[in-house]
Amino acid sequence: MQPAPPPSLWLLLSLALPGVAAVALGDPEATAVPERPPAAGLPSGILQLAARAALHFFNFRAGSPSALRVLAAVQEGRARVDPQGGCEVNLVFSTERYNPEQQGEGQLGKCSARVFFKNHKPRPAVNVTCARFAEKVKRQARDYLLYKQMKQVKTPLDISSIPDSHGHIDPSLRPLWDLAFLGSSYVMWEKTSQFLHYYLIQLSSVKQLKTEDDGIDFDFIALLHEFSTQEIIPCRIQMVWYPGKPLKVKYYCQELQSPEEASGMEEASGMEETSAMAPTELNNS
């Protein structure tokens, strides 16, 4: 096991995204359901872990940097253990907007989810429905404006360290961070298990790839904080984004495991069934 993250990374966790980092580190205000002794074979905090897994899946399937959500609080939930199959969690939780710069819409309402963790395996099956989703027309306008700005860049971007060593994200780089979080959501969902979950803490490098097609192509190195091992996992992620179309993701994560256990190069497309359950539902109610 690697040593705990250096102070600079903990600074990123606590300062880079104040509301988000508090949730990731277990801020009591982000947990409405009192902690109870977990059922046999389950870790404490299984409801919060399941909610974050559902949101990773939700964000990936939504495919919109303007629609990113993070966990606010778990309102209710229950977990049922099948010793032969795994653990099924049914829960209701509230979310908030990921980008604090998008003012005026406040809390984004409740989500209900069913998350099934296979025994000792990652990539939980997720069925999640969220209400009070951002208005579709407004969301599409934001995404298309970002798309136009990215396409008009004459020199492809090549940037390192987002946030910087002080946990600061320059406002001009916030769209890149949001797009990277969008792509990382797929990786974090795929790697989550009933005993491990992940959070994006830094991009060590981001490159925009120049292509002839309509998509926006990125190649970036994401540093993921792995709970509960406290390891920092570097993942190389390649993604293609176009507003209104399914997100495409490939990734490889460097981990302390045998080659047979490593994730290898994975591919994802929102057009494919990425879960054993029904796809995410996006509501405007």
pLDDT tens per residue, range 173-209: 999 999 999 999 999 999 999 889 999 999 999 998 8
Nearest to 50 by CA among 17, 85, 20, 78: 78
Per-residue burial over 38-76, b = 16 or more CB atoms within 10 Å of its CB, e = otherwise = eeeebeebbbbbbbbbbbbbbbbbbbbbbbbbbbbbbbe
- Say how far apart CA 117 and CA 115 lie, in whole Å: 7
- Say how far apart CA 106 and CA 283 lie, in whole Å: 16
Tokens of 253: 């994560």
- Say how far apart CA 20 and CA 167 lie, in whole Å: 13
Q: Domains plus CATH for the chain?
A: 7-272 (3.10.450.10)
Nearest to 267 by CA among 190, 196, 166, 194: 190
Higher pLDDT, 208 or 106: 208
Question: Which phi and psi (to 5°) does residue 140 adopt?
Answer: -65, -40
- pLDDT at res. 133: 63
Question: Which phi and psi (to 5°) does residue 180 adopt?
Answer: -65, -40
CB-CB neighbours of 140 under 10 Å: 16
- Say how far apart CA 148 and CA 214 lie, in whole Å: 11
The amino acid present at 48, given as its one-letter code, is Q
- Say how far apart CA 122 and CA 139 lie, in whole Å: 31
- Say how far apart CA 88 and CA 90 lie, in whole Å: 7
Pairing mode of beta strands 86-97, 107-118: antiparallel
Question: Which phi and psi (to 5°) does residue 67 adopt?
Answer: -115, 10
Mean pLDDT of all residues in the chain?
Answer: 77
The amino acid present at 206, given as its one-letter code, is V
Q: How many residues does the chain have?
A: 285
Whether the predicted pLDDT of 230 surpasses 60: yes
Render pLDDT for 236-274 as a digit per residue (tens, 0 to 9): 999 999 999 999 999 999 975 544 344 444 445 433 333
Whether the predicted pLDDT of 13 surpasses 90: no
- Say how far apart CA 144 and CA 21 lie, in whole Å: 28
- pLDDT at res. 107: 61
- Say how far apart CA 36 and CA 17 lie, in whole Å: 28
Whether the predicted pLDDT of 110 surpasses 60: yes
pTM as predicted? 0.77
